[in-house]
Chains A and B, each alone.
Chain A
Amino acid sequence: MSRSLPPPCLQTCIWDVTRAMLLLAIAWLGPQATAQDTPVISGAVGFIAHTNGGTTSLQPVIAPVAVIPIGSRFLVESRADVREVIVPEGGDGTYEGQFYPTLQYLQLDYLVNSKLTITAGRFLTPFQTYNERLTPIWIRNFPDTPLIFPIGTRTAGSSDGGMVRGDLVSKPGWQLNYAAFFSANSSVEQFQAGRATGFRTGVFFPSKRLEMGVSYERFLQDQNSNSAGTYLWWEPWRFPLQVRSEYAHGPEGQGYWIEALYRLSQVGGPDSWIGRLQPGFRMQQFFRTSESPVDFLPARDTYQPDFGLNYFFPYEIRLSASYSRRFTTPVDRNIWNVALTYRFLFPVLRGGRQW
């Protein structure tokens, strides 16, 4: 059976398409040193050993972040937290692992201008500061989240819907920033969220590196309830000191945390072995006002001092250790954490390809 050749015009078309594809491929793979908007993969891998009341769990974690600029005003961002929680099974020394993949955000941002960015998709609920700024394992100063973290963030910490945010006023001496959101109810796995609305707004004084603000959230399903909070951050210029604090009030109770960390970089410089040390202390209290079976808050009034020590190795490796004493009823307990994290940051495509 003979195979007939395509007509000459079709051959020309095929050649043109092939040539165009080759040119596209060369342009795609070729170096473009001036482009700066290459998609980025960032995040961290880590290993956490957590001991609570004598029970130890081991948690290998990978938390990748993807940043994909599109054109000059759009940005797709996503972060996941994938971890295996390995806990002892029975009393015979065997361990069993449970896999926990979590999509923390997957959002499309439209940067209108400095004062307004419109976000759609799944995003971190902008209630207080800890959820948006400090939850990544390579950023948080203490491996454990604060006791009051579930207030306003509804356990998952993520919302599905829309958000507007920006820098409303930007003066040399002070800046006023804001974020407001609406979230729909979703029970879809990996996209679970509650129906809620709220905002956070803060004033930042760059010359003093002082920031304070307030948050509010209205939960709009089941029982309509309000959560509110305030926060204060301060990083003085004179010392490598970080002071952060939050107070939050919700239908379940109220509480606060305040942490102070001092990096010993003034002793021998930031790259000396002692300058890489960062001891810290956090105090937190929670006062329960109403019973709730599953709100992820302490069941009773609790106060807890945390003592932490971070060591910053070269190449973005950090070793963190903390000891906490949780005072609560019916029994007090010790909590130990050791975490090793490696932070990575690299372009996805060769040569600075812009999408």
Chain B
Amino acid sequence: MVIGTRLGVMPGALLIGAALVLGQEPTTQPKQTAPRAQTTTSTKNQQSEGERKFLINCGRCHNPPEQVSPRIAGSVIRHMRVRAMLSQEDAREILEYLVP
């Protein structure tokens, strides 16, 4: 049992150490697959912030869907608010990213 507990703790300690060393957010965002949202009026900064929030929150569990219709974006965000416990601000920014 002691061995089992140690085996459970050691990877965790290693991971935290690695995360602190390697996990710093880069200034340029990594290229990842994201929904092909249409861009119209939103500024580039708003979009990139929404995209960043989308990748942080949605991409934590699953790959983003290839396409999200504007008609269902509100429903998807509300679903994510419950599932991923999105804050109201994050939800708004992601919605602006999905439906600019």
Contacts and interface: CB of A to CB of B under 8 A. Distances in A.
Contact of A114 (B23, B78, B88): B88
Interface residues of A, number: 72
Given A36-B72, A36-B74, A209 B23 contact: yes
20 contacts: A33-B70, A35-B71, A35-B74, A36-B74, A36-B99, A68-B75, A69-B75, A75-B79, A77-B79, A111-B81, A139-B61, A207-B24, A209-B56, A210-B19, A234-B23, A235-B60, A254-B8, A256-B8, A343-B65, A347-B72
Contacts of B61: 133-134, 139
Contacts of B23: 205, 207-210, 234, 236-238
Contacts of A39: 75
A287 B8 CA distance: 12
Main secondary structure of the interface of A (DSSP, over half): strand
A113 B88 contact: yes
Interface of A: 33, 35-40, 67-69, 75, 77, 109, 111, 113-114, 117, 119, 132-134, 136, 138-139, 165-167, 170, 175, 177, 179, 205-212, 230, 232-238, 240, 243, 245, 247, 254-256, 258, 265, 269-271, 285, 287, 289, 312, 314-316, 343, 345-347, 351-352
A207 B25 contact: yes
Contacts of B15: 232, 234, 243, 245
Interface of B: 1, 4-5, 7-9, 11-12, 15-16, 18-20, 22-26, 30-33, 56, 59-63, 65-66, 68-76, 78-79, 81-83, 85-90, 95, 99
Contacts of B69: 346-347
A138 to B, nearest CB: 7
A177 B82 CA distance: 11
Contact of A170 (B20, B24, B75, B87): B87
Contacts of A346: 69, 72
A77 B9 CA distance: 36
A237 B73 CA distance: 26
